[in-house]
Amino acid sequence: MAATASWQPQEEGFNSICALLQHQISPSSDKSQIWQQLQHFSNFPDFNNYLVFILARAEADHCGLGNVRKGQSVEVRQAAGLLLKNNLRTAFSSMTSAYQLYIKSELLPCLGAADRHIRSTAGTIISVLVQLAGVSGWPELLQALANCLESNDLNHMEGAMDALSKICEDVPQVLDSDVPGLVERPINLFLPKLFQFFQSPHASLRKLSLSSVNQYIMLMPAALFASMDQYLQGLFVLAHDSAAEVRKLVCAAFVQLIEVNPSFLEPHLRNVIEYMLQVNKDSDDEVALEACEFWMYDHFIFRFMSAYCDAQLPLENLREFLPRLIPILLSNMAYAEDDESLAETEDDESLPDRDQDLKPRFHSSRFHGSDNAEDDDDDIVNVWNLRKCSAAGLDVLSNVFGDEILPTMMPIVQRYHHPGFFSLPDSHPPPPTVHLFLGQVAKLSTTDDGTWKEREAAVLALGAVAEGCINGLYPHLSEIVAFIIPLLDDKFPLIKSISCWTLSRFSRFIVQGIDNQKGSEQFDKVLMGLLRRILDTNKRVQEAACSAFATLEEEAAEELAPRLEVILQHLMCAFGKYQRRNLRIVYDAIATLADAVGERLNQPTYLEILMPPLIAKWQQLSNSDKDIFPLLECFTSIAQALGAGFSQFAEPVFQRCINIIQTQQLAKATFIGSSYITYGLSAIDPASAGVQYDKEFVVCSLDLLSGLAEGLGSGIESLVAQSSLRDLLLQCCMDDDAPDVRQSAFALLGDLARVCPVHLHPRLSDFLNVAAKQLNTSKVKETVSVANNACWAIGELAVKVRQEVSPIVLTVISCLVPILQHAEELNKSLVENSSITLGRLAWVSPEIVSVHMEHFMQSWCTALSMIRDDIEKEDAFRGLCAMVRANPSGALSSLVYMCKAIASWHEIRSEELHNEVCQVLHGYKQQMLRNGAWEQCMSALEPPVKDKLSKYQV
């Protein structure tokens, strides 16, 4: 495969690569062996030339290669193109300019290829090249695209439009940039052509042109802004296109325009709303789904209201459409006949889960701070379909219009209402809208098999409006819940599962009434109903019940303590019968229970129910079994809840975490070492180290060790002393390849610093230096969670080892100050931890820090004033007082900010610190700010701040 001045393929190389590609697309081929052979070929510098040659020229019986007269299939040519695309991402920049030029020159004719797969593959590769090198170095491309679009040949037009749409999708900014040699930006040249294709007789060209323009809505280049009227007119023309894919893109355009700037559509809003209502009933589900998102997007509702308020226009324009919109949403919420969920109605608890049934799981590394709350996910539908989107849309509308939507909802289902089935005492008549709603609830009791889908949709609707319409529903919550509870025992599994979810949506309000006897009895009915369904024989019901129960646990918290025995009995019974997928949800429910009741779980009766099954599972799973992840997470919560009570289980758990980390680090080292030796020549089998490296094993183990440290406190010291944890932990802190490993490692470092710092001493300087490196300005924004935990760990170490942190104090301070000075741009928790750690360093090394205090006092005090009262804030203010004593003049220019920080305290519980703060303020008032200077400083403070300072006798 030697390179020549004018490159030509060699017959042997051509035949070998084609044969290999033929094997690659064969379902029965050995993919590992083929990959190794492809790696071998990739060592030749002109390998990618062969690939583009095969893609572009190997279709003919005689492709210009001596005796080679057999053309290649489209599948082989396409495989060559896809391999070329992947190779170029890593190899293009290192290729010779001659080879780069050859590949480009071969791709352009493919735009007009007879086969659409070849055209599409060429367009994908062209987009990759534009991503890598832009268009300025490929002037022939723009001209070729323009020529093809003007050719009137369908193949050429489709090929060029396909490539252009991919460029617009992947790197839209490239076409909206100045290009040397061009008078105008490319987008200015292509946009008019794209608008013209809106009227093409070919659906494929209408679709591709509209898709291309839609990519620029968010960027909103000047060319599109100036052509907005033409664009909107094109959308209105395409709104009733015969092609469903085009109509879907029209809907998507309206959604994005509402998000970007509602004023674009304001003059046409009534027509747009009218259109979206019509396509919500589109015969094509994907079109209806796209239209439904128009109503679901929070941005639509709130930006719409904002635009109308700014223009002083009434909101009636949207409200008047609710009687038409809500029935459409409700009708879309019933299960379609082809919905996959309808197959999940059997008693399938004994059927083992397949690997493809298991959802991907993502462990959230331990985080010390206030900003790591996970998004709640109360979805009960696995696929984002029209039904789910309609329910989400109804949810959003209920949050905007509240109880106003109830009168519109109720008449739709009144035909199911049996007069007299539900009534309230005449002395307490409900508002008309709620009475109608309760009529709707009454229909849920019907057992007519033919209407079960409507009943199920009604329960879904009830859950969807549970929060938004709660003001109208709350006075009658007990009646509503009383009607839903029997549905937990319905004959249809999907009604049982949706009833679990809907009860979870009301769980906060159900718990609020627990203080009175009636409310407590209702809570117990809901609790026992969900526990019954946790033991259901249908997997979907099990999942819904467990998830709903976890939500109830979070709301009820300590109220669950008197009911712990029956809860644990049900959960552990489920633990013994569930298959792998739902077992993960049981782990989560157990962990949530432990978090909710805390130390109340530490009773022999409860532990006898809880721990034996968990320990049996713990012993059953190997160190390389991924099913151990949720068990490790579960043990983390249990260890924290039991505290010292977990000590009887601690030793084997601790040691196994150590073993897992050791095994994984060995696997990683083996893999990296082997990779260096055989780089570029063959595949590496990481199993040669005994297990395949997976960082999540390390993360989960580190987090469980943190849970043990938090739960056992100083009781973990003997375990740490007899282990290799210190050195393993330092390796994890230095793992540059895995930010989440470092994040959990620094969390554990801080936890160990709190309870057994003596065992960190031999490597203390190493720990401090590697932690300080995480605060480097370039790393903070890239891995903010790592920086947050490292910052917190430095502060924890500082208060324990005191002067021993001196060597790194200035390095850390130089990193913390920029964080505080740009607080509004960064993670809230990182700013809080930075201010606390700076204070702790000032407390232990005031003579070092105080010299520089005038450079950061204002931003630091501003950050301190935002922190809630706790022991960490006390430490930071001890540092403040120590610095002022060491260098009182350093805070003079920032005294107003310091007073505001002091006033942020609700109460300083430490009498010693309170007295220190008093001394600082009195020192400034009596010694440094005389002759009216103190009064002048006080005049700059708001009255509430001055009132709070009065408790310090100033």
| pTM score of the predicted model | 0.72
The series of mean pLDDT values per 10 residues for the chain, 954 residues long, is 65 91 87 82 90 89 49 91 93 92 95 95 97 91 96 96 96 94 93 97 97 95 96 95 90 84 82 78 68 49 39 61 83 80 69 58 60 42 67 84 82 43 36 51 60 87 91 87 92 94 95 92 96 94 95 94 96 92 92 95 96 94 90 93 93 94 88 42 43 89 94 93 94 90 95 93 92 83 89 94 89 91 87 94 94 91 93 94 92 90 93 93 85 85 89 80
Q: Are 395 and 470 in contact (CB under 8 A)?
A: no
CA torsion angle 386 388 392 398 (round to 10): 90
> Which structure tokens are listed for 226?
């100036």
User: Quick one: which of 836, 767, 757, 847 has its CA closest to 806?
Assistant: 847
**CA dist list (Å): 115 to 59, 74, 106, 762:** 10, 8, 16, 68
The residues that bridge with 65 in the sheet, in sequence order, are 68
Supply the pLDDT for residue 347.
66
For 388, half-sphere exposure in the C-beta direction (CA atoms, 13 angstrom radius) is: 11
What letters, b where the CB count within 10 A reaches 16 and e where it falls short, cover 729-758?
Answer: bbbbbebeebbbbbbbbbbbbbbbbbbbbe
Q: Are 548 and 504 in contact (CB under 8 A)?
A: yes
> Which structure tokens are listed for 477?
């919550």
Supply the pLDDT for residue 382.
46
DSSP 891-929: GGGGHHHHHHHHHT-S----HHHHHHHHHHHHHIIIIIS
The whole-angstrom distance between residue 806's C-alpha and the CA centroid of its chain comes to 39
Supply the pLDDT for residue 75.
93
Supply the pLDDT for residue 280.
63
- Which tens digits make up the pLDDT trace of 785-826? 999 999 999 999 999 988 888 988 999 999 999 999 988 888
Supply the pLDDT for residue 396.
81
- Which tens digits make up the pLDDT trace of 421-464? 333 334 334 444 555 555 554 555 555 677 788 888 888 988 99
Supply the pLDDT for residue 266.
80
Q: Are 224 and 213 in contact (CB under 8 A)?
A: yes
Q: Give the span between the Cα atoms of 406 and 323, in whole angstroms.
A: 10
Dihedral pair phi/psi, residue 648, rounded to 5°? -70, -20
Supply the pLDDT for residue 952.
84
Q: Give the span between the Cα atoms of 708 and 696, in whole angstroms.
A: 18
DSSP-derived letter for residue 68 is B
Q: Are 892 and 925 in contact (CB under 8 A)?
A: no
Supply the pLDDT for residue 387.
83
